[in-house]
Every structure is written in structure tokens, then in C-alpha cells.
Structure 1
Amino acid sequence: MSKRRINKVAVIGSGIMGSGIACHFANIGVEVLLLDIVPRELTDKEKAKGLTLEDKVVRDRLVNDALTASIKSKPAPLYHTDFANRITTGNMEDDIAKVKDVDWIIEVVVERLDIKQQVFENLEKHRTPGTLITSNTSGIPIHFMSEGRSEDFQKHFCGTHFFNPPRYLQLFEIIPGPKTSQEVLDFLNGYGEKFLGKTSVVAKDTPAFIGNRIGIFGIQSLFHQVKEMGLTVEEVDKLTGPVIGRPKSATFRTVDVVGLDTLVHVANGIHKNVPEDEEHDIFELPDFINTMMENKWLGSKSGQGFYKKVKNDDGKSEILGLDLGTMEYRKGKKASFATLELTKSIDTVTDRFPVLVKGKDKAGEFYRKNFGGMFAYVSNRIPEITDELYKIDDAMKAGFGWENGPFEIWDAVGVKKGIELIKALDKEPAAWVQEMLDAGVESFYTVKDGATYYYDIPQKKHVKIPGQDAFIILDNIRKSSEVFKNSGVVVEDLGDGILNVEFQSKMNSIGGDVLAGLNKAIDIAEKDFDGLVVANQGKNFSVGANIGMIFMMAAEQEYDELNAAVKYFQDTCMRLRYSSIPTVVAPHGMTLGGGCEMTLHADRVVAAAESYIGLVEFGVGVIPGGGGSKEMALRASDSFKQDDVQLNRLRQHFLTVAMAKVSTSAHEAYDLDILKHGKDIVVVNPARQIATAKAVARQMADIGYTKPPKREDVLVLGKQALGMFYVGTDSMEASKYISEHDQKIADKLAYVMAGGDLSEPTKVSEQYLLDLEREAFLSLTGERKTLERLQHMIQKGKPLRN
């Protein structure tokens, strides 16, 4: 059988979801044809221009306006604005014949069965047999949609449900129709994971599939619980946010962002279509939701929902919360619970659950009810919505941003304890849970040989979750393959001669213990291994150097110790570049300051597409001191071309640091010269990142890695560049664009990147630049205003402009 490849897709419907899906395919390099309907009347602007309904620009207006709005929206749907060039637009009348040339057609029109069926009938006239055709419905049963279509159409048709926004949410549900071929399902499952970077989950054709069925149940049961327990919206958001591994926006803020109408639409659909569900009444909307719908308090899009942003008497913004009793907005109330205080020192989320359900206050009662209800519900949804329990967990983690799925939380609480919580609510778990315990199996999951196994109900035993071979999960291998450990890092053997160093500090910040651990890992790798990967699976790769430590030393004026600490950081970064083994750094999420400096010094970078990388030290009143300022001067020098205006190149690199630019994706990091085309690579699926980094290190070792010679040939421009920079910072300060202290920091950076006040362009060594960088860094830590900036960042978590 020939291999199926996706070079071009057609997306039918350009609303928020359709445009988002089109943008994500463009992100991964696929050509996209985006089509929508023809407008029925002219706008005033079009009339003024003398256009008619026959003009192509008018006929394509809806699709072009929708795509333009999507590209401008925040968070951005594209990794890079240039990727919009991969999308061609058109309309359903003039351009529908073009679908004959695509490999996959995705329908994303309005959620009405009659309209969808009409669209499919139209598409079938032009579709080439064998082309994939899928619907991004979130609620209409798949089996209704393909009725009356040809055999070939039905064989290649199924549901592919993306979650909004498609770039950021990982869940990709695949829902087979009655005649979908196994080949199509297998292909989409693999394609979603490998190319789209998603967690692919094959679901059954039941109302709202897996993610929304469980997710909406969770939100609706909270709606009912709030009233019953007399909790405020702020209290619920405090209880259902990061403390239990959920997004910061928790419950009510999330509903405000998504839109109450969207939620109500799905909840009503479930309520109507699952009359047999034992929790049918939960999907009925409480009175306060009906009132909000009548008042059009839909959340952010209508300016108010559960929260409302207003200007107070001082003209400052403040957020009001909705009182669900009186249905009036009132000043925000700070929520605090004794039970939550007990979890403050517990870093691992799963370790918090047993503490939370034992709480003696309202919070403890809330968790017991909430988890008990959820455990009962998910156990009873098998085999209705899926046969495998891990798919429910995958859907909640990938679609709703939960750190742990319901069965993982149940395991953390203890299966027996979970049953107690269920029975305390006069509910019953599904019979298979008790049968599992009777069979001597005491958990839903277990880890063996670095792989996760789940309890398979028909086989009554743990079975390996399929598809893990492409992943390396550090949590699963840490204990069995640990080579070295200190308070800042764990060094693991990834197999095949490659070592990994994983940061374990708070927010993966880089202090003395992390640097010591990294040096130790390089020692071990040089002696007994073939390569080193620097990677972790925390929320962020690293937020940078431990500024608390820098502040303490600077405040105490311990400049010798500070000088030694900065030199240690520089030397460690240089070791990453000049060790005798290949080094690969794998950044993801926030990779700031020192985290970025490590990335800049690796032999190769394997970045997750969602990497936000930048040198942000200006925000705390210093310049990059771990080799970042040196490296930007070096990269500027490497980019100088014959007869080029060298000052412009240097200026670009200077501004990257001086403006603390951070890429909003790994692809943007190429523009900042933080990643290198042809050398560094971007991985869309974060679960594949470490395995890919390992493969890159292995390949470098196999083709014969030789340590690069130290650089003595960095061309710096001296006085000529310095003059340009000083004039620039002077005029910016004079026009009040930057403060006096900003100017001081910028001038120090200019001195380093120009290579000092040399009388003519000169070639210097990296070490020469590192010494200048360290000297500038230390002199800035002696400034009162820098200390104020450092202190403000430590206390408030945001930069101070002084």
C-alpha cells in the first residue's frame, strides 16, 4: 500500500476555529486552501468603491476578513507571521473545484447537521477518491453526517475534533464513523501526534466525545456545588487552579475566556442527548447561568461574566467578582483556606491530593465532594465513551490543561480512599473498580522499565500504553537510571551512550547547585558516555539565574564572591561549547536569561515549538553575564558580510538584548539569531523532544564529533560602533523613551559588544569579551537602582522601571 502524505489541506469554514486550524497546518509547513461562503450583500465601503457582488475581492471578503482577524489575535495562532503565506483563500462557489488537489479536507462550518450535509454533498462532487475528509464538530454525531455519501467517502470520513486555540491546546480527538477504515484511523492517530504535535485520542461516537463530556461534567458539577456550599467565585478559582495542577485561570476565569455561550451550547447538547446518564441532572443549567445568558454576561467578549474589569475612583483598573446570590458585582474577595496552607511546601502536585481530601475546613469538604463525584462519573463512562481509562486522562490533560487526569488523581488519593469518597456522596463506582481491587490490583497505573502501564478492564491486568516508544518520560526513568544527583539536578542515563541533565530547582532557576551538577554531568559524560542532553519536563526550561543569590551578594557588597559566581556561570556555558562530547540543549516554555545563555552555547538545540526564548537581564538592571552579551557580539561578527554595513548587523544584535526581546515561538528565535537555521531544529510535539535531542546527540557522536577550537577571531568594531550606540542612547534618554538608568545599562552593553573603545575594528578572543562582560555586570550590581530592580523582581515578580 502506498504511503499517505499530507502536502496540502483544504479547510472549509473560516470562523475562529477554521482559521485557527488553517494557521496550525501552516505552522507545520503544510499548504492550506481556506474557503468560506460568498457574502450576500455589499458593505458601505465596497459600495463607495463601486464594487459589485460579482467582484472576486467581494466574493472572498468573509474568508479574508476572518483570516486577517485570526492572525492579528492574541495569543498568536502562527509560530511566525511569514507562515501566513502558506494559506490561500477563496470561496465555496468559485474555488471549490480546487479541493480535488488536496490530501485532506476538514469541514469547520456552523454546528448544524443540515448545513454540514449540504457542504459534504457539494464537496463530494469535486473530491478525489481516497482523499481524507473529516469534520471538526464538537457535538453532532458523526454517523449522521456521512449518511447518503458514497462508499469511498464514508471509508475516508470521520470526526477530527481540535480544541480551541488549535496551536496551543494539545487534544486531538478522532471519532470514527460507522464505515471509517482502520487505515484512516491509524494514519490520523499517528499524524496528529507526530506532525501536529497533539495528544491523539480515538473516541467513540457519543455526545461531546471524551474531553467535553468529562470537562463539562466537571464544570457543571462545580456550578451546582458553588451554590450548595455557599462558595464565592474567587474561592472556587483558588481551589481549582495551580494548587491542583490546573491552569491559573482555574474555573470561572476560564469560562470567561472561552465564553459562557460556548459552554452552555455544549452542556445543553449533552443534557438533550444523554437521557440515560446517571448524572443527567448535572447538565441542567443552574438559575444563575440562565440569568447571565439573558443579561448577555458571556465573559471577556461581552466585557463581563463571572468577573468584570472596571476603573475605580483613582482611575486604576480593578476586577470585580459576581456575587452568585445577589447577581451583583462586588469588590474582589481574597480567598484563603487552612488546608491550602498545608500544601505550600509540597512541590509535586500528586503529593498534595491526599492532604487536600483530609482537610478539616470548607476546602477539604469541597475536594472530597468534587473528587468523589468525578471519580464515580469517569468510572461509569467506561465502556460508554472509551474502553481504555488512560484515554480519559489524556483528554483532560491535553484538552483542559490539567496536570493529572481523573484516574491519576484517584491513584494519588488511593483507590480505596476514592471509593470511600464516592460512597459518602451516596453514589457508586462502576463494578469494574471493585473487581480490579478483588483481583489484587491496587492502582490504575504502574511504571515498568521506563514505560507507563494502565489497568486493562477486559484483561484484568496492567497493559503498556501504546505509542510510548517515541517518548522519553523522565518521571518514569529517573529512579532506575540516575547516575548523579544533587539539590539542583538529576543526571540520568538515557541509554545508547547519552546522558541527560535535568534541572530540579524552583522554576528551574540556575544557581550554584545547578551549575555544579551540570559540570559534574559533563565530567561523567566525557569519561564514560558519548554525548550530553540538557533537558527537563518542567513547566518551563528555565526562568534564568537565581537572582535572589545575586541580590544578596550585591547588597552585602561581596564583590569577590559575586565575581567568582559570574565567572563560574560563564565557564560552565563555555564548557557546554568546548567539551569533548556533543552537547544538545532542549528548551521549552520560558527559556529566559541564563536559560537562554545555556541554549546559545550548546553544540545543537532541539527546541519545542512553544519556546519563549530571550535575554531579559535588562529588566533587573544588569546585562547578560553568563556569556550572553559576548555571544551576541560573536554572532553579529559571524553575520558580517563583505561590503556589508556591519554597524547595522551589530545594532540588531544589540537591540535584541537591550530591548529584552523574547521570541513568542521557537521559529521567531531564528529571527533573533538565538537559533541557527540548518543547525538547530524545532519539534512540534513536546513529548518527543527529549527522544529527538538524544537522537541528535547520538548522530553527532556517530559521525565523529571533534571539539571545536576556541574562537580568537571575533571581529569587534570598537570606537566606531561605540560612538553610534552612545548617540542612540543619548537621544532616547533625552526624548524620555528610556530612563537615565536604562541608558547606563545600555551604554555598558554597548561597551561590551563593541569590544571596548578600540581605535579600529579588531579581532579578539571570546575570553576577552567574557572579561568585559563580567566587569560590566559587576559594576552594574554596585548601582542602587539595579538593587532596587532586583529586589522588585524578587518581591513582585515583575520588572521595575526606575
Structure 2
Amino acid sequence: MSKRRIKKVAIVGSGIMGSGIACHFANIGVEVLLLDIIPRELNAKEKAKGLTLEDKVVRNRLVNDALTASLKSKPSPIYHQKFASRITTGNIEDDISKVADVDWIMEVVVERLDIKKQVFETLEKHRTPGTLITSNTSGIPIKFMSEGRSEDFQKHFCGTHFFNPARYLKLFEIIPGPKTDAAVLNFLNGYGEQFLGKTSVVAKDTPAFIGNRIGIFSIMSLFHAVKDMALTIEEVDKLTGPVIGRPKSATFRTVDVVGLDTLVHVANGIADNCKNDERLELFKLPDFIDTMMKNNLLGSKSGQGFYKKQVSNGKKEILSLDLNSLEYRASKKAKFATLDLTKPIDKVIDRFKVLIAGKDKAGTFYRKTFAALFAYVSHRIPEISDDLYKIDDAMKAGFGWEHGPFQIWDAIGVDKGLELIKEENLEVASWVSDMLASGSASFYTVNNGASYCYDIKTKAQVKIPGQDAFIILDNIRTSNEVFKNSGVVIEDLGDGILNCEFQSKMNTIGGDVLAGINKAVDLAEKNYEGLVIGNQGANFSVGANIGMIFMMAVEQEYDELNAAIKYFQDTMMRMRYSSIPTVSAPHGMSLGGACELSMHADKVVAAAETYMGLVEFGVGVIPGGAGSKEMALRASDTFRKGDVELNTLQEYFLTIGMAKVSTSGYEAFDLGVLQKGKDIVVVNKDRQIAVAKQQAKLMADMGYTQPVKRTDVKVLGKQALGMFLVGTDAMEDSNYISAHDKKIANKLAYVMAGGDLSEPTLVNEQYLLDLEREAFLSLCTERKTLERIQHMLKTGKPLRN
């Protein structure tokens, strides 16, 4: 059987979902044909131009407007705006024949079975046999959609359900129809994971599939609990947000973003089609939801929902809906004693035992809601899935939960979960008792670095498939630990490669982390072949520990501060000039010091979702961990004969001066913080550590040679410094920057120009590092810099002063 490759896809339907999916295929380098219907009438602009319904620009208006709106939306659906050129638009009447040339056709039209069937009938006339054809339906049974279609169509047809926004949410549900070929399911499962960067889950053809069935149950059960427990919407959002590893939007803000009408549509679908669901009553809408629907309080799309933005006296205010009066009121801050007890607990998974033991309303809330969730998911096996890990995967990837229901249940203890369920007069599925009787005391176990879960059919722990491409640090941290301090754990990844994993709060880089990196380099040079700096936290690192810098600066301990900055610089240079290859694996926020660290590795294996940049201007300093030096060096390396070298240097200067941050790994190349031809981007973050290890091993196997220290960095001296100073004067005069902004920019200018040398000169890196450290230290003596650092520590936001 020949290997199936996806070079070109057709997306039929260009709404928010269709355009988002089209952009994500373009993200991964696939050519996309995006089609939609033609308008029925001209708009005012078209009439004014004298256009007719036969003009191509009119016929493609709907698809072009939809794609344009998608590309302008924030957060962006595309990794880099230039990738949009991979998308060609057209309309279903003129361009439908082009689907004959694609490898995969996906239908993303309105959720109406009659319309979908019409679309499939049209597509079948033009589709080449053997081409994949799928539907992005969120709930219509797959078996109904393929009725009456040919044998070849049905064999290659299934549901492929992306979650919105397609770029950011990782769940990719694959739902077989009655005649879908197993090879098609296997291909899509692998393609979703490897190429689209998704968590692929093969679901059953049951209403709302896996993610929405459990997710909507969870939300609907909260809708009922909120009235029963007399909770406000702010209290529920406080209880169901980051404290339990859920998104900041928690419950009610999420519903506002998704749209109450969308949620009601799915809930009604479950209520109508799942008559045997033991919690059917929870899918019936509470009175307040009915009233909100009638009053068009649908959320962001209608301008008001559970929350409403209001501008009063030029000030923005967010109002909250009172669920009793259904009137808007000022938001009230929610506070619970139980949540205060979790503040010292960094790991979310360790908080659940504390939360369910709470003596206040929060404790009652968690006991009730977790009991309901645990009982419900137990009964969904084998109805919606034969495997419990698929339910957890779906909730993590589709709803942004850090832990799935069975993982949370394991965290509090299976017996304790059963106790909570009993207290709520609910019943658990019998297989849970069978599991305990079989000798399995938990849903999951770890063995030899691999995750296992309880399998209901065999009544034994079985290895979860698909892990071989991943390295899961949680699974190997204890067994493969080589060294540990309060800032890092160093693990043996096998094949002679070490990994240095940050363990500090928000993975900030302080003294212990730097000591850990140095130790990792020492160990790798002595007994191993390479080193990866990587972790699987929410973010790679938010940068240097500015709290430590603030304390030293306030206490005027300038010698200690100078030594701390030098230690950071020396550690970066130790990474660069070690005798073993070093690979950095940034993802999520990789800011300031974390960006500097990556810039000093031999290679960067960045996740596609990497937000990377030198942001030190925001706290009143310049990059002091060898970042300013490195940008001057990279500018020097890009000088070409005949170039206006000042212009090249200015680009690198502005990247720091404007605190630019990439919105994806691909954009980081534009900023010069990643380097073309050297660094790479991986779409699936789960594969990142494995790929980084592979790259380190490859460099070692090819015969890695310790780099020779650079003495050939070209700096432009007074010529560049003069240009920068004129520029900062002009910007201050036009009120674009403050006096303190100008001071910081001038300090950076001095470093990147190489000081006030009379002519362009070749210097070594240490010369620039000394200039950088001196500038950083002098800025730490400034009151306005200390105000900026303090404001960032207090609020998490930059201060302009």
C-alpha cells in the first residue's frame, strides 16, 4: 500500500472554524483551497462600483471577507502572516472541480444535516476516489452524513473535529462512520499528532463525541449548582480557574467567549439524543439560561452575557450578571479560605486533596462537583470510549484542563473519590469496583518511564499507545535523576544526553538555576555526550529572577549585584563554549533571560507556540545576561559587503528597544532571536524534548568540536552611537518615549555600538559583556528603574514612567 501524503487540502466553509482550520493547515506548510457559497445579492460598495453578481470579486466576496477577518483576529490563527499565501480562495460553484486535485476534503459548513448532505452529494461528483473526506461536525452523527454515498466515499469518510481556535486548542477528535476503513483512522490519528501538532483521540459516534459530552456536562452541572449553592458567577470563576489548572476564563467567561447559544445547541443535542444518560436532567436548561437566551445575552458576540463591558467616565468597567435578578452589577472580588491554603502549593495536582478537605463553601463546592464529575465519567465508559485515558486527553486538549477527571480522581485517591460520590447519593459504574478488586489501586501507573492505565476489558494496567515519540519528564524525573537542587532537576534522557529541567516558580532563572545549568554542563562534559535545557511546564521561563535583582539594588549591594550579573553572563558563555552540544527547548513564554539562554545554545528546538523576546526595557534595564552582546554579535554576522551596516544594527537595536516578542516560534526568526538554517520549530510540543534530544545526539555523533571564542565582532563605534543618540532625542521630543526610556535606550546604544570608538573595530565578546554589565548595573541605581521592577513584581505589568 502506497504511503499517503497530504500536500493539498480543500476546506469547504469559510466561517470562523473553516478559516481557522485553513490557517492551521497553512501553518504546517500545506497548500489550502478554501471554498464558500456565492453571495445572493450585491452589497453597497459593489453597487457603487457597478459590479454584477457574475464578477469574480463578488462571487468570492464571502470567502475572502471571512479569511481576511480571520487573519486580522487576535490571537492570530496563523504562525506568520506570510504563510497565508498558501491559501487560495474560491467559491463552490466555480471552483468545486478543483477538489479533484486535493488529498483531503474537509466540510466545515453550518451544523445542519440536510445542508451537509447536499454538500457531500456535490463533492462526490468531483472527488477523486481514494481522497480523504471528513466533516468537522461537533455533534451530528457521522452515520447519517454518509448515507447514500458510494462505497469508496464511505470507506474514506469520517468526522475530524477540531476545537476552536484550531491553532491553539490541541484536541483533534476522529469519529469513524459505519464503513470507515481502519487504515484511514490510523492515518488521521498519526497525522493529527505528528503534523498538526494535536492530541488525536479516536472517539465513538455518540452525541457530542468525547470532549463536548464531558465538557458540556461539567458546565451544565455548574449551572445547576450555582443556584443551589447560592454562588455568584465571580465565585464560580474563581473556583474553576487556574487554581484547579483550568484556563483564566474559567466557566462563565469561557461561555461568554464561545457563545451561550453554541453551548445551548450542544446541550439540547445531548438532551434530545441521550435519553439513557443517567444525569439527563442536568442537560435541561435552568430558568436563568432560558431567560438569557430570550434576552440575547449570548456573550461576546452580542456584547453582553454573564459579563458586560461598560465605559463610564472614560474608564472601562466589567459588570457581572446577578443570576437572581438577571440585572448587571459591579463585579465583586471572590475570596475563600480554602483557596488561600493552596497558595504555597505550586503543582496543581497536589492541590486537590487540600481543596476537597476545605471547611468553607469552596470545600463543599469541590466535593459536590468532583463527585458528580467522577461518577459521570465512570458511566461514559464504554459508551463514548473504551479507554479512560481518551476522556482525560480530550478534556486537557479540548478544554485546556491541566488534568483530566481520572487524573484528578487519582490525585485525591480512588477510595476518597468513591466516598465523595456516595455522600452525594450518586452511583459509580461497576468497573471501578472491579478495578480495585483486581489489585489496581489507581487509574494510572508509571513503569520504566512509560504511562499505563487501567483497561476495563483485560482488568489490567496496559501501556498507553503512542508514547514512543515522546519523553514525559514527569515519568522519568525520579528514576533518572542525576542531580537536583532547589532550582533544577538534571535527568538522564538516555543515549548519553542529559536534560536540565527548571523547577523554580514560573521557571525564573536565579542563582540555583544558574548553578544547576553549570552543574549540567560539568556532568555532560565529564560523562555524557550532550545537554538539553528543557521542561514541560506551562512556560519555558519568564526570565531572570527580578525579585532578587530588586532586593540587591534596593539594599545597594552593588558588588553582589555585579557578581550576580557576571555569573549569569558567564553561565551563558559556558553553555556556548562547552565541549558538548547544548540544545535549548523553549515553549510558551520564553522571555528576557530565557531568551538569552536559548540564544547561547548550539541549537534551539522551539515549540510553534513560543513567545520569545528580550523584554528587559519593560523593567527599566537592558538585557544583561549576554543578550545585548549577542544582538550586537548577530548584527555583525549579518553585515554584508555593500550593506548599510548602520541599518542592520538598528534593526537588532529596535528589537530590544521595543521589547518585541514573537507570537510564534516562526516569528522569532524575524526578530533575530532564532537563526535560520540553525534553529528549528516543532508543531507538537509533546515531541519537543524527544526532538531536542535527537538533535543533541546527532551533533555529538557527527563529531562535535568545542567552538573557538570569538574575537571578530565588528562594532561601529561613534558612527553608530551618534545615529542612535539622534534617534532617541527625536523620539523624546515627539513624546514617543519618556526621559527614562531615552536613558535606557542610550545605554543600550553604547553597548551595541561597542562604546565611543573612533572607527569600526573588531572586538571580542568579553569586551561587549563588560560594557553590557556596566550599563545594566548603572540602570539598577536609578529610582525609576526600581519603580518599574517593583511595579512588575506587584502587578505583572510594565510601568511607563
Determine if the TM-score, normalized by the shorter chain, exceeds 0.5. Answer: yes
Letter in 2 for 1:322: L
Give the corresponding residue for 2:50.
Answer: 50
Cross-structure match for 2:570: 571
The match for 2:66 is 66
Q: State which drifts further: 165-174 or 253-262.
A: 253-262
Q: Which residue of 2 aligns with 1:377?
A: 376
In structure 2, distance between residues paired with 1:548 and 1:484:
26
Displacement after TM superposition at 1:795 (Å):
1.3
C-alpha RMSD of the superposition? 0.6
Other structure's SS at 1:257 match: helix
The Cα of 1:80 is off from its aligned counterpart by: 0.2
- One-letter identity of the residue aligned with 2:182: Q
- Give the aligned partner of residue 761 of structure 1: 760
Supply the AA of the counterpart residue of 1:546: N
Aligned 1:366-445 pairs, distance under 5 A = 366-445=365-444
Alignment partners' CA distance in 2, 1:93 and 1:315? 49
- Amino acid of the structure 1 residue aligned with 2:711: E
Deviation at 1:311, TM superposition (A): 2.2
Task: Determine the structure 2 residue equivalent to 1:233.
Answer: 233
TM-superposed CA distance for 1:257, in Å, is 1.0
1:90 corresponds to: 90
Whether 2:113 is the aligned partner of 1:127: answer no
1:554 matched to which residue of 2? 553
User: For 1:488-513, what per-residue CA distance to the aligned partner results, in whole angstroms no more than 9, with x for missing partners?
Assistant: 00000000000000000000000000
Deviations 1:748-793 (A, max 9, x none): 0000000001111111111110000000001111111111111111
Aligned to 2:15: 15
List aligned pairs for 1:568-647, cutoff 5 A.
568-647=567-646
Are 2:753 and 1:725 aligned?
Answer: no
Distance 1:58 1:431 in 2: 60
- Paired residue type of 2:115: I
Report Cα offsets for 1:705-732 as digits up to 9, x if no partner.
0011111101111111111101100010
The amino acid that maps onto 1:164 is N
Deviation digits for residues 35-86 of structure 1 (CA, Å, limit 9, x no counterpart): 0001111111111111111111111000000000000001100000000000
Deviation at 1:236, TM superposition (A): 0.3
Residue 108 of structure 1: aligned partner = 108
Question: For residues 360 and 617 of structure 2, what CA distance do their matches in structure 1 show?
Answer: 45
Cα distance in structure 2, aligned partners of 1:29 and 1:538 = 28
Give ranges in structure 2 of 5+ residues lacking alignment.
Answer: none
**What secondary structure is seen at the aligned counterpart in 2 of 1:742?**
helix
Deviation (angstroms), 1:315: 2.6
Q: Does 1:335 pair with 2:334?
A: yes
| Per-residue deviation, 1:219 | 0.1
Q: Secondary structure at the match of 1:165?
A: coil
For the residue of structure 2 that corresponds to 1:276, the secondary structure is coil
Give the 3-state SS of the residue equivalent to 1:470 in structure 2. coil
2:449 corresponding residue in structure 1: 450
Take 1:557 and 1:205, find their aligned partners in 2: how far apart are those partners? Answer: 66
1:677 aligns with 2:641: no
Q: Secondary structure at the match of 2:94?
A: coil
Bigger mean CA deviation after superposition, 329-338 or 374-383: 329-338
Question: Does 418-427 or 9-18 show the bigger shift?
Answer: 418-427
- Counterpart of 1:16, as a letter, is I
The question of 1:212 aligning with 2:212 is answered yes
Query: Hey, what's the Cα distance between the residues in 1 that align with 2:379 and 2:461?
Result: 19
Amino acid in structure 2 at the alignment position of 1:95: D
Task: Report the Cα offset of residue 350 of structure 1.
Answer: 1.4
2:287 match = 287
The 1-side partners of 2:33 and 2:576 are apart by 44
TM-score, structure 1 as length reference = 0.99
Q: Deviations over 1:174-232 (max 9, x none)?
A: 00000000100000000000000000000000000000000000000000000000000
Counterpart in the other structure of 1:154: 154
Aligned to 1:794: 793
Distance (whole Å) between structure 1 residues aligned to residue 546 and residue 368 of structure 2: 42
CA distance in structure 2 between the partners assigned to 1:353 and 1:760 by the alignment: 64
2:566 and 2:622 map into 1 onto residues whose CA distance is: 14
Q: What are the Cα deviations for residues 239-290 of structure 1, in whole angstroms up to 9, with x where unaligned? A: 0011111111110011111111111111111111111111111001111111
Q: Which residue of 2 aligns with 1:364?
A: 363
CA–CA distance in structure 2, aligned partners of residues 90 and 481 of structure 1: 54
| CA distance in structure 2 between the partners assigned to 1:56 and 1:307 by the alignment | 42
TM-score (norm 2): 1.00
Distance 1:440 1:709 in 2: 59
Secondary structure at the residue paired with 2:632? Answer: helix
Aligned-partner SS, 1:319: strand
Alignment partner, residue 712 of structure 1:
711
Structure 1 position 556, deviation (Å)? 1.0
Where does structure 1 lack aligned partners over 5 or more consecutive residues?
Answer: none
Displacement after TM superposition at 1:317 (Å): 1.3
Counterparts of 1:404 and 1:494 in 2: how far apart (Å)? Answer: 24
Amino acid at match of 2:235: E
Deviations 1:105-133 (A, max 9, x none): 00000111111111001001111110000
SS at match of 2:666: helix
Secondary structure (helix, strand or coil) at the match of 2:475 reads helix
SS in structure 1 opposite 2:53? Answer: coil
Q: Give the Cα–Cα distance (whole angstroms) in 2 for the partners of residues 319 and 438 of structure 1.
A: 52
Matched, 1:486 2:485: yes
Cα distance between partner residues in 2 of 1:788 and 1:339:
33
Partner residue in 2 for 1:524: 523
The 3-state SS of whatever aligns with 1:631 is helix
Query: What SS does the corresponding residue of 1:350 show, helix, strand or coil?
Result: helix
Q: In the aligned structure 2, how far is the partner of 1:53 from the partner of 1:320?
A: 45
Tell me the secondary structure at the aligned position of residue 418 of structure 1.
helix
What code does the residue aligned with 2:21 have? I
Q: Which amino acid aligns with 1:696?
A: Q
Match of 1:736 in 2: 735
Deviations, residues 306-330 of structure 1 (Å, cap 9, x unaligned):
1111123x43212111110111111
Tell me the distance in 2 between the aligned counterparts of 1:560 and 1:128: 73
**Rounded Cα–Cα distance in structure 2 between residues aligned with 1:295 and 1:638:** 62
Spell out, residue by residue over 1:498-553, the C-alpha distance to the aligned partner (whole angstroms, 9 max, x if none).
Answer: 00000000000000000001000000000000000000001100000000110111
| Identical-pair percentage | 79
* Aligned equivalents of 2:219, 2:648: Cα separation in 1: 52
Q: Which residue does 1:695 correspond to in 2?
A: 694
Give the whole-Å Cα distance in 2 for the aligned partners of 1:795 and 1:368: 33
SS at match of 1:715: strand
Q: Distance in 2 between matches of 1:366 and 1:555?
A: 44
Aligned length: 801
1:250 aligns with 2:250: yes
Q: Which residue of 2 aligns with 1:513?
A: 512
SS class of match (1:197): coil
Separation in structure 1 between the aligned mates of residue 333 and residue 643 of structure 2, nearest angstrom = 58
Equivalent residue number for residue 500 of structure 1: 499
1:170 Cα shift? 0.2
Which residue is 1:198 aligned to?
A: 198
Deviation at 1:297, TM superposition (A): 1.0
Partner residue in 2 for 1:179: 179
Q: Give the SS at the match of 1:561.
A: helix
Partner of 2:93: helix, strand, or coil? coil
1:301 paired residue number: 301
Query: What is the alpha-carbon distance in structure 1 between the residues aligned to residue 368 and residue 783 of structure 2?
Result: 52
Compute the displacement of 1:354 (Å).
1.1
* Cα distance in 2, alignment partners of residues 58 and 236 from structure 1: 47
CA distance in 2, matches of 1:504, 1:426: 41
